[in-house]
Amino acid sequence: MVSSRVKEINESATVSMSNKAAELKAAGKTIFNFGIGEPDFTTPKEIIEYAFKSALEGKTHYTPSAGIMELREKIAKKMKNKNNIDAEASNVLVTPTKFSLNLALYSIIDPGDEVLLPSPYYVSYPDIIKLNEGKTITVPTDENYEMDFDAMRKYVSPRTKAFMFNNPVNPTGKVYSEKSLRELSDFILENNLYLISDEIYEDLVYKGKMFSPGSIEEMRDKTITVSGFSKSYAMTGWRIGYMVAEKSIIKAANKVQQQTMTCAPSISQYAALRALDDEDSVETMKAEFMKRRDLTVSMIREIDGLTLYEPEGAFYAFPGYDAAMDDSELAMDLLDKQNVIVTPGGPFGSSKHFRISYATSQDTIKEGISRIGKYFKNVK
């Protein structure tokens, strides 16, 4: 019998879609997949070579639990130079990004503490909060996904401990302005909360500018900044990222890391070390994502019955629709009738929406979105 805690955790929203897609593929059908939230590129060769060379040199052992010092120092330097966050190695813990989110919550919340989530949110957040015995309080945003802080105050209770969000946003592609983030920071300070700022898409900003709230002096000890290598460097399989926070939080998270994963994989830490020197590949991949974004946006705009917030970052578009069916029916129907995979919006907190990941080839985008267009012509 599994624990009641685990029984309450949802499987990934894309699992049933992937199962169905596997069936169709086995039947010889071509699938247009906009479901996968990962770059289709292979990790840059120099990064792979450096990691493998390090392994061949014998760097295949446990590392210090918080990460190899050279990498923690380099991440601290990156935080200073790029994010304007005043960090030292002792403010950095190296671990996979999704695990950082778990470590952050495990380190700051007691069972029953509340975490505010602006909606739409990254699909895993509510389950990560549940897993760490917190309670999710979703807060609505407006039609441009801006937060209303006066309205948000109503959601704060004596049990509210943290506010968690990602910027650029998965699933909407929203990039928050410095002004909005300064207002958010005032709200955090006023209510004495922690801010978990998931910045995993920080390098994929096409419009507007990345701003890290942890760079605001008063927010330094209140912000847990989480980021990683998966999206910027096409390194999803290496399972490597980091969290940056005040030292006592890093110390707490490090204890949990020691008793769970011990340390991040040594070979991936060396890959990350090399990745931080590789600004060219990020720029090349970003330029290609931007072309795909433009193509996706222009094609979706042509489809009657769909609305779209123009994504400014990450690699997602999140169209809304007004047809009668709910979003999981829509996703299943699109797969059945047009062999197109999208992710339903409900698990992101937004029904009557679906998410398109455009981290796929321009040919797939052209054919797949024209199929979505054909589908909506026939549905009302």
Instruction: For residue 71, give both structure tokens.
Output: 């990498």
CB 116 within 8 A of CB 156: yes
Q: What is the DSSP string of 216-263?
A: SGGGTTTEEEEEESTTTTT-GGG--EEEE--HHHHHHHHHHHHHTTSS
Residue 122 touches ligand PMP, criterion: CB under 6 A: yes
Strands, E assignment, the chain: 32-33, 92-95, 114-118, 135-139, 160-166, 194-198, 223-228, 241-244, 306-307, 316-317, 320-321, 340-341, 343-344, 354-357
State which of residues 215, 230, 254, 357 lies at the interface with ligand PMP (CB under 6 A): 230
CB 339 within 8 A of CB 31: yes
Nearer to ligand PMP, 33 or 236 (CB): 236
State which of residues 98, 161, 222, 274 lies at the interface with ligand PMP (CB under 6 A): 98
Q: Least distance to ligand PMP from the beta carbon of 171, Å?
A: 9
Q: Least distance to ligand PMP from the beta carbon of 230, Å?
A: 3
State which of residues 13, 14, 35, 37 lies at the interface with ligand PMP (CB under 6 A): 37
State which of residues 44, 120, 228, 311 lies at the interface with ligand PMP (CB under 6 A): 228
Quick one: which segment of 50-58, 91-99, 155-163, 321-329 binds ligand PMP (CB under 6 A)? 91-99
Quick one: which segment of 55-63, 80-88, 90-98, 150-158 binds ligand PMP (CB under 6 A)? 90-98
Residue 241 touches ligand PMP, criterion: CB under 6 A: yes
Q: Least distance to ligand PMP from the beta carbon of 71, Å?
A: 16
List the interface residues with ligand PMP, window 312-331 (CB under 6 A).
none
CB 116 within 8 A of CB 148: no
CB 251 within 8 A of CB 264: no
SS3 287: helix
Q: How many residues bind ligand PMP (CB under 6 A)?
A: 13
Task: Report the interface residues with ligand PMP, using CB under 6 A.
Answer: 37, 96-98, 122, 166, 170, 198, 200, 228, 230, 236, 241
